[in-house]
Amino acid sequence: MKKLLIAMMILSLLAPACAFAQQEPVRIVFWHSATEDAGELMAGYIDTFNRTIGAEKGIQVEAVFQGSYSDSVSKMRSILSAGNLEELPDLMQLDATGKVAYQTAENAYTIDKAMADHPEADFSSFLAPAMDNWKLSGEQLGLPFATSTTVTYYNKSLIGQAPDTLSDIANLAGSVEVPEDGCIYACVPNTPTLANWIGQLGGYVVDRKNGSEGMATRLDCLEDGTLQAFLTEWKALYASGALKNVASSTDEFVAGKQLIMTSSSSSVNAMLEKIGGAFELGVAAYPRVSDEAQMGATVSGSCLVMFDQGDARKEAAWELLNYLTGADVQADFAAGTGYLPSSSDAAESAVWQDLIAGNPIFNVGYEQILSTPPAMCSVTVGPSADFYYAIQNDVSEMLDQDLSPEEAVELMEEDLGGLLDQYAKANG
């Protein structure tokens, strides 16, 4: 701080001589994937930052929308594979599929490294499950920014009470009137949803605790039977007629044609707006796979990670990171979207407290994160995109081609196992 003061004094003395240099703030690049409501809020935060803290400290942020998380991660991966590290941004919004690639980046400026440079930093108020979600092999990679979890949205006007388990959903078939060309529930499981249901049964999708403690090399949910248990429940649900084997569609849900939808808690606000009072929206905890299962769902959403692009820019990225994960922005972002406050500081703020007092459905996700068993964590694998689609396709194929759960397990063992093997062979 003292050094900075002296430097500032010298600078101000030299000001007339180097007016040019002084006008030159530190420019940093921030890649984000925020669209619609979140996108507008994000633009506002960056604008505010540039006008206030940025102007004060000589930092100018260029925010770049990089498409979806997977587009953005692809971009990062390809830059890493070409070794053009300077093309990486200073700060990046990263989802779980990018963790492995980020950790391999030579200029990854992880939170652990940043904390060594900033011993005064205190992140103790951040929610433990949210923090843990961005840890890999014991290293804290990023700070939670857009924290969410998967919850159940349901058409309260038609269903009344939220389903607790998959068989509750199955029981709705026949007892509730389904709109024309509509369905009760539509879903095609993918990596995070499978991790939730396997996790509720006490299992892991892949070894090393879902890859959180090191590179996953095989499927873990085979021997303990959790995969088969889930597939059996899933097939029963389909057989009941309550499940439509397609990805759920917000359009259909909002139009009242789909009665239950499991989706990120982050769209509560958008959902309310689109429904516009046409029916009452209910939000409840993620359904349990069976009566024996524990409740809960893993943390989803995204974190912010930094890259080292030189000391001045590193410092600037740190400022922006702290601003975006600070209590004010977190509470505002949560209230404007349905994302959850990432820290207890943010959750205690008046903005958030007022919101959940007025509309408790915003709080469902937050409560769920706090009560989910800590062992349940998201899946981290190298071939993340292929893995995601393979799960979707295999589970969906089981229903389409009427395979038995045992056959589906074999199919997934071959398909998903093959992906892990190939990756390990080339990158082991």
Q: Can you give the binding site for other proteins, defined by CB under 8 A?
A: 29, 35-36, 62, 64-68, 70, 73-75, 77-84, 87, 101, 104, 181, 188, 245-247, 249-252, 255, 257, 274, 382-386, 389-390, 392-393, 396-397, 400, 411, 415, 418, 422-423, 425-427
Strands 281-284 and 243-244: unpaired
Which helix (H) or strand (E) segment is 184 a member of?
strand 183-186
Report the residue number, 223 or 402, with the smaller CB distance to other proteins.
402
Report the residue number, 370 or 403, with the smaller CB distance to other proteins.
403
Q: Within 10 A of 244 (CB to CB), how many other CB atoms are there? A: 19
Query: Hey, CA dihedral for 339, 290, 378, 347, is it positive or negative?
Result: positive
CB of 384 to other proteins, least distance (A): 8
3-state SS assignment for residue 27? strand
Which helix (H) or strand (E) segment is 12 a member of?
helix 2-13
CB of 46 to other proteins, least distance (A): 13
CB of 225 to other proteins, least distance (A): 24
Q: Which of 114, 69, 108 is nearest to 88 (CA)?
A: 108
Report the residue number, 202 or 417, with the smaller CB distance to other proteins.
417
137: left (phi over 0), alpha (psi -120 to 50) or beta: left
Report the residue number, 48 or 70, with the smaller CB distance to other proteins.
70
CB of 69 to other proteins, least distance (A): 10
Report the residue number, 43 or 351, with the smaller CB distance to other proteins.
43
CB of 38 to other proteins, least distance (A): 10
Report the residue number, 81 or 161, with the smaller CB distance to other proteins.
81
Locate tokens 């994000």: which residue?
A: 42
Question: Measured at the alpha carbon of residue 236, what is the angle toward residues 233 and 241, in degrees to the nearest 5?
Answer: 135
Locate tokens 């600037």: which residue?
A: 316
Report the residue number, 80 or 242, with the smaller CB distance to other proteins.
80
CB of 84 to other proteins, least distance (A): 6
CB of 177 to other proteins, least distance (A): 18
Q: Which of 291, 234, 248 is nearest to 153 (CA)?
A: 248
Angle between helices 327-337 and 268-275 (to 10 degrees): 30
